[in-house]
Structure 1
Amino acid sequence: MAKIYEFTPREPNNVVKLLEDILSMAKAGKLENLTLAARLNDGDVMTAFANIDYAERLSLIGHLQFHITQKIVEDLLDR
């Protein structure tokens, strides 16, 4: 199983900070591919994929789901 790196800036404008950090990583050649989903301020959802086939999209989505589940379990254990 792959290691999960939590990459969630907590400071103000964290969406911009996160995108800037991801862009820096991409420019440095550290990203093989990318899956992105975002809620737009009008309520729509944007999805984007780069350098990725359907199987790898599903794999990365599975990692996102695992990470969310892991955080829920950690929060429940901290209670």
Structure 2
Amino acid sequence: MKDTPRHISEMQAKIIHSKTNEERSIMGAEMVDSVYKMVKERLKEESPGLTEKEITAKVFLRFYQNEFSEQEKELIVDSIKNG
């Protein structure tokens, strides 16, 4: 979806490119952290009885569902829940 006017997109790009590599890296890390927190809160709302480890396992599966085989995901989830 592209609903941002072109002049605004160009302004955003100019601002982002004016920042140092370190500042852009920090911005990216903060965005990832924000998304992680949003997903975690959503899972808590959907299933209030989950433990922190169960929530962490579900967050992992949301973010990495296509990155690992089923066997690998099972091992990682088990490690999260029992580690």
- TM bucket (normalised to shorter chain) is 0.3 to 0.5
TM-score (norm: length of structure 1): 0.43
Higher relative contact order (CA 8 A, sep 6+): 2
Q: Which has the higher helix share?
A: 2
Q: Which has the higher strand share?
A: 1
TM-score (norm: length of structure 2): 0.42
From the CA coordinates, give the structure whose radius of gyration is larger: 2
